[in-house]
Chain A
Amino acid sequence: MTDARKVDLTRVRAYGDDLDDGQVQTSFSLPVPFGDEANEAAKQLAMKMGLEEPMIYHTHDLGEGFTFFIIYGTCQHSVDFTRIEVPKITAKKRSFYTINQAIEETFGRKLRIIGGCTGTDAHTVGIDAIMNMKGYAGEYGLERYPWIEAWNLGSQVSNERLLREAVSFQADAILVSQVVTQKGVHRNNLAELIDMAEAEQIRDKMLFIAGGPRVSHEMALELGFDAGFGPGTLAPDVANYVFDELHARMNESVENA
């Protein structure tokens, strides 16, 4: 067992089976033919990644002048854990029943949430898991919430249509899912939505929330969203955030009045 007191949090290194051993694994292919020169190239590349004494555990001739490597090595870098700051969503964790009750008591009306996969993305797995009746991993989706009016527009929704429908639906929040990406197209889609919302002066009228395997809260904030949810998110995470944020804004506007 590691003696936690020995960990120097200002110089945290990768851990294999001994503190500060720096052990990491990486695997990659190189567009060079299989052989000794390929191995040497892979080692040199690993050293440039910061791996001391890289060991090639496995190499395979892929053909067509490509070679695959699995490498272990000692990573010489460390990070200062004491200076790390990550923006986080600080919503309370309430259950399905509690959140519905809270909405009823606080707002006295259903919260309206619209969502979809935008652009050319046809992968609805994420948005379905959050919104559809059935939900995911034992948690009901938003459609099942008696105090949430949820409308899932499904796949390949244009940003234009999403905004139009959101306005006529009088949405309190928009959920945008981006799953499959290539060459960063998901970022462009998300950024475009915010640009369009600003142009139409509806950016502040509702919450803009992004989700997907490559989305983080930090990245969503960068792109101008109110929040971002990454992998592993379930419906209550989103419902709680929407509730807390709308509640906070309601209180703010009361104070300002």
Chain B
Amino acid sequence: MSALDLDPGVIGRARSAARAIADQVQTVVAPRTTVSVERTVLRLLGVDGVRKRDDVPLPNVVVDHVAKHAGLEGGIFRSLAAAMLATDSTAQQVAEAVAEDGLTLTHPADESAVRALGTQLGEKAATRIAQRRAERDQLLEEYGTGPDPLHYVIVASGNIYEDVTAACVAARQGADIIAVIRSTGQSLIDYVPYGPTTEGFGGTYATQANFQIMREALDEVGEELGRYIRLCNYCSGLCMPEIAAMGAIERLDVMLNDALYGILFRDINMVRTLCDQAFSRRINGRAGIIINTGEDNYLTTADAVEAAHTVVASQLINEQLALDAGLEPDQLGLGHAFEIDPALENGFLLELAQAQLVRQLFPESPIKYMPPTKHMTGNIFRGHIQDALFNLVGVWTGQGIQLLGMMTEAMHTPHIHDRYLSLENARYVMNTARDLGDEIQFKPDGVIQNRAQTVLLKAADLLEEVGEEGILASLSRGVFADVKRSEDGGRGLSGVLSKSTDYLNPIEEALA
């Protein structure tokens, strides 16, 4: 028996409205590709590195080159394959020749040879991804993992080597997931920086080398502790699908990967993001990565009590879009947050209602629960208590991933002992209240039951409204997070292209 008596009729109504919205998104996505999607194809074909004279990443060099000389509408692969076949070279060799030796790529002559090569290389890429996934499965089986909710902490020094130290300390203090926060602003650059990095602002650049360095360190400390330590990064921004490819190759386990976040919070063009999220999720799905969605952020700009239903509505949309991209329900870390004003009487009851509602709506998904941020102050002592209450709701309602709050939230990126204190807080609260949820039923017609029903009902209504109006128009109207975005505004629109009728993407085909 579930703790909340939710009306299955309303749930069904909400889900089918979300389904219809996802169908609308498909009509936006299907006829288009983006420069970042094409760069991702190159990465999964093995292209990596930078042009020597200016450090421009080779995937950018080649995509920009083809856009200029042959056009990208048919996909990057055609032009690349023509050169690979003509000179019997690898994708990397062709990319280097374009960057360093002035090779010009043109349209291919022999279509069937290109298709055959595409199938072969697509399969190879899919196998490479599958191998890393199998490796994770084996390690998880060997070492196991902590109990739910998994303890997720961030490292954010700007220097990948300092991050490694912080991550290993956190793992020893009980962390299950280490997220390396990206340098602020990375989401808005239209390339992925290259190599290990030691300078960043508010975080550390997501580069493939940094992924690898952290992966190795976590494997090592995990082996010592006998617990698999998951690695998380940010598959968002203008390079969303490229980060997915890098994560698949370096065996990341969790990725922030939201369909709408970039539109709302980074002012990235909505068509660009919708196309990019679809391809990135296709890769994440195949890589066995758990995605985290960003609905928690809605509550940093909108009010957590008034806007609670927008979180649920967005989760249902994110769910349908993710299923479309081939993700399984157990890969969906749908996001929400403990952001109600602490001064509100009975606010805790509303938090509990929301967390339990989300838990019950997505029973197979590892819900990602975010800590208080908006109402954290410089009073670290009070902040520690807010985080304790958040931890109580997390264990009580059986959230899957608990992003642990730091008492110094909103003041500075975490210090080494901030993480320890936070992990100790979670361990204490969750251990002492482990099975509380199994013991509690909520009073029929009580505050918690009624709140959950109301939020669910409003979410269903909103979804129907959005479906009727159209998702793009709704985003323009500021339905989510009180943020308004226009269809042709935002960053990255120039990187969106209409596919030609013979568009070819061998990676997409292999992962479909």
Contact = CB atoms under 8 A, between A and B. Distances in A.
Contact of B165 (A27, A64, A125, A185): A64
A180 B303 contact: no
B378 A66 contact: no
Given A62-B416, A156-B267, A231-B378, 9 more contacts: A64-B168, A64-B169, A124-B301, A125-B374, A132-B482, A181-B412, A182-B158, A183-B158, A213-B410
B173 interface: yes
A122 B410 contact: no
Nearest to B187: A122
7 contacts: A27-B417, A63-B173, A124-B301, A156-B188, A156-B266, A181-B202, A182-B202
Interface in A1-58: 27-29
Interface in B190-242: 200-202
B415 A29 contact: yes
A181 B158 CA distance: 11
Contacts of A128: 301
Contact of B420 (A62, A156, A213): A62
A62 B378 contact: no
A231 to B, nearest CB: 6
A205 B168 CA distance: 52
A182 B300 contact: no
A144 interface: no
A120 interface: yes
Interface string A105-135: 0000000000000011110110010001010
Interface string A158-191: 0000000000000000000001111101000000
Interface in B283-305: 300-301, 303
Interface residues of A, number: 29
B411 interface: yes
B377 interface: yes
Interface of B: 158, 165, 168-169, 172-173, 183-185, 188, 200-202, 265-267, 300-301, 303, 373-374, 377-378, 410-413, 415-417, 420, 482
Interface string A126-163: 00100010100000000000000000001110000000
Contacts of B482: 132, 134
Nearest to B483: A154
Nearest to B166: A64
A231 B301 contact: no
A60 interface: yes
B214 to A, nearest CB: 14
B169 A62 contact: yes
A29 B416 contact: yes
A204 B158 CA distance: 37
Contact of B201 (A28, A134, A155, A182): A182
A120 B378 contact: no
Contacts of B374: 125
A29 B173 CA distance: 14
Nearest to B419: A62
Nearest to B301: A128
Contact of A68 (B172, B188, B420): B420
A120 B185 contact: yes
A118 B173 CA distance: 36
A242 to B, nearest CB: 24
B266 A213 contact: no
B172 A60 contact: no
A177 to B, nearest CB: 13
Contacts of B266: 122, 155-156
Contacts of B183: 120
Contacts of B416: 29, 62, 66, 68
Nearest to A185: B201
A183 B184 CA distance: 13
A141 to B, nearest CB: 11
A132 B374 CA distance: 15
Contacts of B184: 120-122, 180
A58 B116 CA distance: 66
B193 to A, nearest CB: 14
Contacts of A154: 267
Contacts of A27: 417
A124 B303 CA distance: 14
Contacts of B412: 181
A125 B378 CA distance: 14
Contacts of A134: 303, 482
Given A122-B184, A182-B200, A231-B377, A213 B411 contact: yes
Contacts of B200: 182
B201 A62 contact: no
B411 A66 contact: no
Nearest to A126: B410
Contacts of A68: 416-417, 420
B169 A122 contact: no
Interface in A233-250: none
A135 to B, nearest CB: 11
A125 B415 CA distance: 22
B457 to A, nearest CB: 23
Contacts of B420: 60, 62, 68
Given A29-B415, A125-B300, A213-B378, A62 B265 contact: no
A197 B40 CA distance: 41
A63 B417 contact: no
A130 to B, nearest CB: 13
Nearest to B185: A120
Contact of B185 (A156, A179, A231): A156
Contacts of B413: 180, 182
A179 B201 CA distance: 12
Contacts of A29: 415-417
Nearest to A61: B172
A156 B491 CA distance: 12
Nearest to A60: B420
Contacts of B169: 62-64, 66
A126 to B, nearest CB: 9
Nearest to B167: A64
Contacts of B265: 122, 155
Contact of B172 (A28, A63, A120, A156): A63
Nearest to B199: A183
A213 B201 CA distance: 17
Interface string A221-240: 00000000001000000000
A120 B201 CA distance: 8
A51 B378 CA distance: 24
Contacts of B188: 156
Nearest to A134: B303
